[in-house]
Structure 1
Amino acid sequence: MKDLITQQAIVLFGKKGFSETSIQDIVDALDVTKGTFYYYFTSKEQLLKEIHHEYITDLLERQNGIIQSDALNQKEKITGIIRLLITDIADKGPSARVFFREMRHLTNENAEVIKQKREDFRLNIEKILRTGIKQGEFQQDLRTDMTAFGILGVTNWSYNWFNPHGEVSPEELAKLFSDMILTGIVPDER
């Protein structure tokens, strides 16, 4: 039942937003009582915190799988992380929307762990970029901090407009973003 409540909340938060969704809306959609909700969650915010925690924890685990792969160079790791983020938005549509859009509804105390994990995800990208600089895969004067923010900005914002069932597939979008980030949009003049 806890999973059913969570999944229904994700659907409703994704459609209506966190503020506009009441606990009553969630339990009505499942045809259960508020008591059932409160058996599993102390509040709507605690539910939102758990949704965020599960989402970022799963992303970090999969990011670490990419990072730890000895078969990939640093460019391939960046491409893999871009693919991870885009396909996650495609595969987990409402969850991604809730994760990227509804964080602002968590109190500082509840957001602290989530913010640290988000920071860890970004810092992992910076480490890949620094390693790539040392190995000659990336420009020597690359600002790893701003580049990591840029990668996340380009990929994460796509939750707002990307239709994975539209003209461009998630794999195509991931490749387009990877090419744009890694090689730019200006033709090589050599």
Structure 2
Amino acid sequence: MRHLASKGIRVAKQPSLIGKRRSAAGKEPRESYQNRRQEISEAAVRVFHRLGYSAASVSAVAAELGVDRATLYYYFSSKEQMFDEIVRTVLESNAELARRIADSPISPARKLRELITALMNSYGSNYPLLYIYIREDLTHVSDTRSTWSEHMRQLNRNIEQSVIDIVEQGYADKSFRRVGVPRIVAYGILGMLNWSHRWYKPDRGASADEIGKVFAEMILSGLESPY
């Protein structure tokens, strides 16, 4: 092939072995393929939690599953793709949920209670994935993932805006006391939820749902108007 190339004859590039195997994996029955990707994703989350994002590797995920590294490349091209895809799916779901609650016809107090509890439950059901994302500040990553990181920042802004809108609604109908700028109130609420990454363990103490309800009660006891 080198001889042909040296004479100016273009030689078609042959797909790599990994590329061939990934293509073959993609031709599996859809349910089987998705189930296997889910299994790999769950193993990756355990590895990310145990080793931290930076120290985790495809090899470590393969070892967690008891398979060779090449097998994982059939389904994911890198640890970044594993992590990015899982986090993106969860944050998109949370942002959509926050918007639905903010736009619903129920009272601002009930909206805030439901949203705080729902977000805490999401942290619990997706433990420790979102905590890794928060802990390692992965909204700031290399240029090669700038599209993903900007999408994550936008999703976070969307969630923040939903909380701000609920606070403004409560101010408008006077069901909330005007304790401060809505954005600061929203940051306080989300900060309380995010800081739980320092101490929350799903197998120890209160459940995510119980914690969410306590947080909501604390916040609303300071916001709700007595009149």
Q: TM-score, normalised by structure 1?
A: 0.86
**Residue identity opposite 1:96 in structure 2:** L
Q: How far apart, in 2, do the equivalents of 1:11 and 1:42 lie?
A: 18
Aligned to 1:114: 152
CA contact 1:87–1:170 (8 Å) conserved in 2: yes
- Unaligned 5+ runs, structure 2: 1-35
**Residue identity opposite 1:62 in structure 2:** L
Q: 1:3 Cα shift?
A: 1.6
Counterpart check, 1:90 vs 2:124: yes
Q: Secondary structure at the match of 1:184?
A: helix
What RMSD in Å do the two structures reach over aligned CA positions? 2.3
The correspondence of residues 1-190 of structure 1 with structure 2, limited to 5 A, is: 1-70=36-105, 72-104=106-138, 106-108=141-143, 109=146, 110-140=148-178, 142-184=180-222
Q: 1:12 Cα shift?
A: 0.8
CA contact 1:82–1:174 (8 Å) conserved in 2: yes
Using a 3 Å threshold, how does the CA distance of structure 1 residues 125 and 40 change in structure 2: closer, same or farther?
Answer: same
**Residue identity opposite 2:78 in structure 1:** S
Using a 3 Å threshold, how does the CA distance of structure 1 residues 165 and 2 change in structure 2: closer, same or farther?
Answer: closer
Q: Which has the higher contact order (CA 8 A, sep 6+)?
A: 1
Q: 1:142 Cα shift?
A: 2.6
CA contact 2:47–2:64 (8 Å) conserved in 1: no
Q: 1:79 Cα shift?
A: 1.0
Runs of 4+ residues over 4 Å off in structure 1: none
Which structure has the bigger radius of gyration?
2
Count of residue correspondences: 186
